[in-house]
């Protein structure tokens, strides 16, 4: 495994997106636990979760509890593993997502997440999405209060614009360590946010990083993927999977990029972790960049 810096912490260059283990079409718990353990065996030290990663109504925190159980049952030291969780979104149980990022909600949600994870302080707490009904500075201010109270050790923001990144950085300073936006072979709208994150020294965590190569965990069985692209051709030349090439390409976009691909089987995260071993030539990187955007 290779490692990258996030604030004052070093984490694996590829993390585990734990969402598929708790939402629709989730595996049974033994398989979910085995998937998290496989990630740890492969050297993954960043696990991305959220209080809203669940399927049914009344299940808030399902994924956080699952991650906590998996770590407790691993049988080896996991003190070096950074569990990053998020607050500010909800799932009523009908498949939809809500947004609530008032300071009161975020502070209560963070404390509930801390208890579910069984930690003294959350290693990284991310504001899941800006709430159009709440001034951005007020939502970010809640992160400042959580930091000052010792509920969280570092803060991150997700689904944000460059302006929101700058404003959050002005409020949080060095305690802001990450930006998590959608970015993949199919979706490159966050290129400006990626560049700004690099300039500010913030880790950039692409969510749904395999878009255009693999279906999102929220897609149905017939969800579209691209085929016969430069990613597939270069994968064949390397004896790798297109998914691994996509992750390897993302890692070349900036030294601050840390993809967090989802997985619901041990083999999936093992394959993703193996992407760090691939070296893409400058010509290959250019070919992959020219292939974008794919239709996802």
Contact 172, 143 (CB under 8 A): yes
Spatial neighbors of 170 by CB under 8 A, at least 6 apart, are: none
The DSSP symbol for 249 reads H
Phi-psi region for residue 73, left (φ > 0), alpha (ψ -120 to 50) or beta?
A: alpha
- Cα–Cα distance, 60 to 53 (Å, whole number): 7
By annotation, the residues acting in catalysis are: 53
- Cα–Cα distance, 64 to 225 (Å, whole number): 29
Spatial neighbors of 260 by CB under 8 A, at least 6 apart, are: 14, 15, 16, 17, 46, 48, 180, 205, 206, 207, 209
3-state helix, strand, coil in the chain (%, to 5): 40, 15, 45
Nearest to 292 by CA among 191, 150, 165: 191
DSSP β-bridge partners for residue 203? 178
Spatial neighbors of 42 by CB under 8 A, at least 6 apart, are: 1, 269, 270, 273, 274
- Cα–Cα distance, 24 to 95 (Å, whole number): 8
Contact 28, 260 (CB under 8 A): no
Q: Which residues of 280-295 are buried (b: 16+ CB within 10 A; e: fewer)?
A: beeebeebbeebbebe
């Amino acid at each position: 495994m290779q490692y990258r810096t996030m604030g004052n912490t070093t984490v694996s260059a590829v993390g585990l997106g734990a969402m598929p283990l708790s939402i629709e079409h989730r595996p049974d718990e033994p398989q979910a636990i085995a998937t998290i353990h496989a990630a740890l065996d492969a050297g993954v030290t960043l696990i991305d979760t959220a209080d809203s990663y669940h399927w049914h109504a009344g299940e808030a925190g399902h994924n956080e509890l699952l991650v906590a159980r998996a770590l407790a049952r691993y049988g080896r030291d996991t003190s070096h593993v950074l569990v990053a969780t998020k607050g500010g979104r909800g799932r009523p149980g009908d498949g939809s997502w809500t947004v609530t990022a008032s300071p009161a909600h975020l502070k209560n949600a963070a404390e509930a997440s801390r208890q579910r994870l069984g930690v003294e302080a959350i290693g990284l707490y991310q504001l899941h999405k800006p709430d159009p009904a709440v001034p951005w500075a007020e939502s970010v201010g809640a992160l400042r209060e959580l930091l000052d109270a010792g509920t969280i050790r570092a803060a991150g923001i997700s689904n944000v614009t460059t302006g929101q990144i700058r404003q959050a950085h002005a409020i949080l300073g060095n305690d802001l360590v990450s930006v998590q936006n959608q970015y993949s072979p199919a979706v490159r709208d966050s290129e400006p946010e990626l560049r700004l994150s690099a300039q500010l020294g913030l880790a950039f965590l692409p969510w749904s990083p395999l878009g255009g190569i693999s279906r999102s965990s929220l897609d149905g069985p017939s969800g579209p993927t691209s085929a016969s692209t430069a990613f597939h051709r270069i994968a064949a030349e390397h004896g790798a999977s297109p998914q691994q090439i996509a992750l390897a390409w993302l890692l070349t976009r900036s030294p601050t990029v840390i993809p967090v691909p989802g997985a619901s089987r041990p083999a999936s995260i093992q394959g993703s972790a193996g992407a760090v071993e691939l070296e893409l030539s400058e010509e290959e990187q250019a070919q992959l960049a020219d292939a974008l955007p794919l239709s996802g």
